[in-house]
Amino acid sequence: MEAKVFDKTGKETGKKVQLSDDIFAITPNEHAVYLDVKQHRANLRQGTHKSKERADIKGSGKKIKRQKGTGTARAGSIKSPIFRGGGRVFGPTPRDYSFKVNKKVKRLARISALSQKLAKNELLIIEDFAFDNPKTKTFKKVIDSLKLNEKKTIFAFGESNKNVYLSSRNLEHYDVVNYSQLNTYRILDNNVLVLSLSALEKLESNLKVD
């Protein structure tokens, strides 16, 4: 499958790249995508939630009233959950939410996301470019030229592109990353995926089946 290559001014360069059908033209596996996105979001959770249960409450251990003869229910501790200020029943405790997803499933999820982007015409291939100095105005011109206004977009490059990254930081809805930082969640969380030629080459090399 062929794709047109654009430059940073939004014009076609006349070049075309051959996209691997094994990566950009598969039938998406929704369950693999679900597992990979679920793992990514689970790994972001700190899991530091904590409430005080009965054993964590400070207070006297003395029996607060006699067992019988009061006309009310028995009560043995002021720390009981039924009293104001008592411990919580089965409250949340610190835990690790992370879980394992096999490499083959993660690869399938990644190429499923890329195939979805191409099928929806949300994938753009551009020539590599760089800025002499970090300047938001310069990056905004690239966005305008590529007609990406108000579209949540992620730019992926094959190498670290510091000046382009710094130029994008003040603009909402636009991210500049290294190709290795692309995961299933970030691909699908953006309206448009912009791949530089170097990023495309390394991404295909990284995802190809041995």
Judgement on whether residues 163 and 84 belong to the same structural domain of the protein: no
Q: Cα–Cα distance between 10 and 15 in angstroms, integer?
A: 13
Q: How does pLDDT run along the chain (210 residues), one tens digit per residue?
A: 889 999 999 899 989 999 999 999 999 999 999 999 999 999 999 999 999 999 999 988 889 999 999 999 999 899 999 999 999 999 999 999 999 999 999 999 999 999 999 999 999 999 999 999 999 999 999 999 999 998 999 999 998 889 999 999 999 999 999 999 999 999 999 999 999 999 999 999 999 876
Q: Which residues contact 114 (CB under 8 A, 6 or more apart)?
A: 23, 24, 123, 187, 193, 203
Beta bridge partners of 1: none
Domain limits at 55? Answer: 47-96
Judgement on whether residues 34 and 130 belong to the same structural domain of the protein: yes
Residue 13: CB atoms within 10 A of its CB come to: 14
Judgement on whether residues 72 and 168 belong to the same structural domain of the protein: no
Judgement on whether residues 59 and 6 belong to the same structural domain of the protein: no
Judgement on whether residues 73 and 17 belong to the same structural domain of the protein: no
Domain boundary among 63, 78, 96: 96
